[in-house]
Amino acid sequence: MSAKEFAAQLKTTIEGLRANGTAAIFCDNLIAYLEEVVNSPSPVVTQAELEHYKAQLQVWVEAEKRNHVSDLEMFRSVIQSGQNAIKTSFFLNGGASVALLAFIGKLTEEQHSRIPSFALALTIFVMGVFCIAMTSGLTYLSQWFYAESELWKQKVGLGLNVASILLGLASYGFFIWGMCRAYESFLAFV
């Protein structure tokens, strides 16, 4: 027996009690309430409605899975791009340092007086290598702090992330500065 059927039967019974003179219960209020229950829409879900809800739920679950996979791939892409940027800056500054060091080594054999003009450029490239090495370490630390759920650790992770980005940009700046300084030294060399 459904709730509506029960309410209809209860209503009939109470109406019979009222007709017999029982006034101890507030029949009018009870009858009005039961009338509302009888006239309310059916809370029983049909099989078709249930299947429709299941289908909607499955669509939502699949959409969430797709979004999660997409977010995960985007995160991997960002990490890979960051690693490539670190490697590129390391190779730029490190390669420039090695090339300039080899050139300075050749100068020691022939023209000792020209070495100091290239020393500053070499120092600048080495500072660029140091900055990118610090970037690599801070990247690790920022990810370690991000993995924690505590708010202060997440904030520290964000701060370290910003610091590593700034050091990475500084490394590129050192490369450009060192390149300009080496260019000036080569112009003075001729």
The mean pLDDT value for 15-26 works out to 74
**143 vs 177, which has greater pLDDT?**
177
User: What does pTM read for this prediction?
Assistant: 0.65
pLDDT digits (tens, 9 = 90+) for 70-109: 999 998 998 899 899 999 999 999 999 999 999 998 888 8
What tokens does 66 get?
């797709």
121 closest CA partner among 109, 138, 107: 107
Sequence ranges of the domains in the chain: 3-39, 81-189
Count other C-beta atoms under 10 Å from residue 158's C-beta. Answer: 13
pLDDT digits (tens, 9 = 90+) for 111-122: 888 888 899 999
> Residue 33: pLDDT above 90?
no
Buried b (16+ CB within 10 A) or exposed e, 91-106: ebbbebbeebeebbee
